[in-house]
Amino acid sequence: MADEALELEPLTPFPGRRMEQAIAAVRAAIDDGRMKPGVKYSVYQLAEGLGISRTPVRDALLRLEEVGLIKFEARQGFRILLPQPKEIAEIFAVRLALELPAVRKAATAPDPAALSDALLHQQRLMRDAAAIGNEHEFAHHDLGLHDLILDAADNSRARAIVKTLRETTRLLGANTADKTRTLTDIDDEHTPVIDAIIAGQPDEAEAAMRKHLENTGRLLVAQALRTEASDRSVDEIWSAVV
């Protein structure tokens, strides 16, 4: 098994720390399904696939383990973790706690003009991606939008936390390819948030963001429940945590 070199594009000789390139490579591989949760992998495999030595790969994986994306199993390789339904609910509970105050602050920001421009620009990027059905691009800009709002709230620590959480859940959506919501539906949820921020209405912005996050969260919990064929209900899990 060690010689199945796990077809990853070899790292181009590129400046910067190979460790970080390795992190990006693993994330990308998870995104497009070349690496799947549950399957066992080894540092050897990855290092060979990436064309670099084991050390930076190991360092990268240690960082991913820290974030909770993978789990090393002693002397037996590592595994990509699929977030459990409860974990997803927890993640969204945290996101609600952090992003609702953030969107309130954004709606009362000192420099509305610059923020408005940035928000509308981001929205435009998302719509373009939605129009051509490019989910990957869409997800990227969606992350950008939420990041923009967190940035406006001027709390870099909260921003970093949410970014990590969001990247953890992203791979779930990417893998299961749920089509319950089209990209346009998601965009429709963003619109009132953006409008309220621009209009300087914190209450409306918060309410719209809450709705958006709750929809997304419940959907992902439902997906996770389906993949593990559990008989618990979404509401049960959701309301226990949020």
Kindly tell me which residue out of 29, 30, 64, 78 binds DNA, with binding defined by CB under 7 A. 78
Tokens of 27: 């994330």
> How far is the C-alpha of 145 from the C-alpha of 118, rounded, in Å?
9
Distance of alpha carbon 173 from the chain centroid: 9
Kindly tell me which residue out of 25, 35, 91, 106 binds a copy of itself, with binding defined by CB under 8 A. 91
Strand partners, 105: none
Residues 121-180 contacting a copy of itself, CB under 8 A = 154-158, 161, 165
* Residue 45 binding DNA, by CB under 7 A: yes
Q: For the stretch 113-133, what's the b/e string if a residue is b when 16 or more beta carbons lie within 10 angstroms of its beta carbon?
A: eebbebbeebbebbbebbeee
| Measured distance between the N- and C-terminal CA atoms of the chain, rounded to whole angstroms | 43
Could you tell which of DNA, a copy of itself, none binds residue 138, using a CB distance below 5 to 8 A set by kind?
A: none
Residue 171 Cβ, how far from DNA at the closest point, in Å? 19
Residue 73 Cβ, how far from DNA at the closest point, in Å? 7
What is the dihedral sign for C-alpha 25, 26, 28, 32? Answer: positive
Task: Give the strands of the sheet with 70-72, arranged side by side.
Answer: 40-41, 78-80, 70-72
Could you tell which of DNA, a copy of itself, none binds residue 56, using a CB distance below 5 to 8 A set by kind?
A: DNA
Residues 55-74 contacting DNA, CB under 7 A = 55-56, 58-59, 62, 72-74
**90: amino acid identity, one letter:** E
Question: Token match 């954004």: residue?
Answer: 106
* Residue 62 binding a copy of itself, by CB under 8 A: yes
Residue numbers at the binding site for a copy of itself (CB under 8 A): 19, 55, 58-59, 62-63, 66, 87, 90-91, 93-94, 97-98, 101, 154-158, 161, 165, 240-241
Residue numbers at the binding site for DNA (CB under 7 A): 1-2, 17-19, 41-45, 52-56, 58-59, 62, 72-78
